Structure 1
């Protein structure tokens, strides 16, 4: 473990600290004078240097990581659990090992080490299919996910795990964050690799090379700049709040807004045609993103973030368009961050 100078204040441990959300969360925590130190955990040691942040490694998929975790979180005031690999989508047993079993090991370590606060990164993907219209669903909407997509199954399963966890351990203050899709410029290389493939040329994501945007039934979703989501996680550590919080920025993204951003025209396309094309590409390993996740996106409800505004005191500082534009710039430039997941590499 790297030793940095200690500051008075809360000690926070962050799992998945080198990914899209984790890098923003550790920076948000480090900038807060109420936070004394942060321990960032990841599978691989990063080159990233942030004041007040130490690093250590742990592989949550391993059964023997439970004892390691208990030692790492010992003495912490709060644990923020973010670790979550999307790939390989073709082998959900592999993702289950980290996303579900690894999460349970983190939760158990919190109990064993006497940590008082657990902040868990859930997702809009945990919600059952619902309305696409505003004002959106609140946190009481069912969290049964969409069973066809492994990502949604795993997020929904952990909601049930935490239901039981809260009943058994009422002294622990549990917060569940349920954000929409999270984007920032330095995470774009990772997201391009996850959803489009390692060799997808980012510079081709230009308005003059994207002549149309598909208008699909159900294509309405919400996005949020990752740095704004990170601020909600920071507030959850410092404020005496419990329960779930929806996180999203305005406006809701649809084909019309995408067409405006990309200066492209809208073309109505049957979603069965897109699903068939994605399935074919996925089966021959040309496309890494599962067609099951595509189907889930078309069914996800629109979120109402009123509880986060009123109870947590959180509001995004950037619009949904700002988040998307940051992502598109990151894809085109290949600019990443000093961690293995976010390493930038310009293709094309």
Structure 2
């Protein structure tokens, strides 16, 4: 039996769920002991069974010492913790994403963990020309108008500083995937991206898709990101790795999956509509996501393919089709993060707790 011990912070989310699946698919001799850290422990069910769970809020005052204690004797820690809501409370999102990264860096160093795998993003990169493909040396200065992108860039700076100031600290591995998709994230993505009153089944009935034809976004399946993480941990491979499947996904690809007619809407007009509707809490996506979607580069994945012997098993269009099917059917898991969205629950939550975009704990 493999005696390795791997701690996963944010283990109950999209990528965490895929990572648990990936490691649990290993033979008994190759499977490490997995410790899952999350703010809310998942209910019983695959793939959360067989994992040692501990509840941890990375924004809590005692998060660093508590995490350091949990990391004692660990061979690696994988940090997947990040927040997407409440989009109207940017300070809270920064506390989770940037502050949480600082907590994990500190705890991993305190505990002497040999390797930290940090989930970064294509969103950390500076804006690029449409169709421009970049490797890991491209500037990670983010898209200033996107809080998500700013925070991913800030987390990259934290890791730069940590590597400089702690030369004997953990090997830091930075995964920079495109948009990460899987069927089981369908209900969660509906909850975080569509108005609470919108019935997911109506996605089957959309007659048109109003988007700018210039959209071109790198995407990758959650299982392929999980596979890259496992390979990086096995090799203790440091540095940054771009992760994306081919081909890049455009407006017409999305329309084809939705069976909707693509309609040209200039990005500026789309942004104006998203901004206005977000400000009055009609929908949960801040306009920075529009800026990010239309400015991210495509990803050169040569380094991951060579250094990790990695190749995506699912192409980008197939991953997109799987996600949209999951959104339409509200695919979910027993995890609080990936739970099934109920229209009744949504209405009750709005009445009792206010809009999702304002809740500290969505």
Same-fold call, TM cutoff 0.5: yes
- 1:106 maps to which residue? 104
Q: Which deviates further from its counterpart, 216-225 or 229-238?
A: 216-225
Query: Do 2:142 and 2:149's aligned partners in 1 also have CA atoms closer than 8 Å?
Result: yes
CA-CA distance at 1:31 after TM superposition = 2.4
Query: Do 1:218 and 1:299's aligned partners in 2 also have CA atoms closer than 8 Å?
Result: no
Query: Do 2:213 and 2:251's aligned partners in 1 also have CA atoms closer than 8 Å?
Result: no
Distance 1:177 1:13 in 2: 17
Query: Do 2:211 and 2:270's aligned partners in 1 also have CA atoms closer than 8 Å?
Result: no
- 1:308 maps to which residue? 304
| 1:28-107 mapped onto 2 (5 Å cutoff) | 28-32=22-26, 33-49=29-45, 50=48, 52-107=50-105
Which of 4, 24, 28 does residue 10 from structure 1 map onto? 4
1:322 aligns with 2:318: yes
What is the total number of aligned residue pairs between the two structures?
A: 339
Distance 1:67 1:241 in 2: 26
SS at match of 2:173: strand
Query: Do 1:217 and 1:298's aligned partners in 2 also have CA atoms closer than 8 Å?
Result: no
Cα deviation digits, residues 167-191 of structure 1 (max 9, x gap): 2333421110000001111111111
Cα deviation digits, residues 105-125 of structure 1 (max 9, x gap): 111000000100100000000
Q: CA RMSD in A?
A: 1.6
Which of 177, 183, 186 does residue 184 from structure 2 map onto? 186
CA-CA distance at 1:211 after TM superposition = 2.0
- 1:4 maps to which residue? none
SS at match of 2:298: coil
CA-CA distance at 1:277 after TM superposition = 1.0
Structure 1 stretches lacking a partner, 5+ long: 1-6
Structure 2 stretches lacking a partner, 5+ long: 345-362
Query: Do 1:193 and 1:200's aligned partners in 2 also have CA atoms closer than 8 Å?
Result: no
- 1:129 maps to which residue? 127
Query: Do 1:282 and 1:288's aligned partners in 2 also have CA atoms closer than 8 Å?
Result: yes
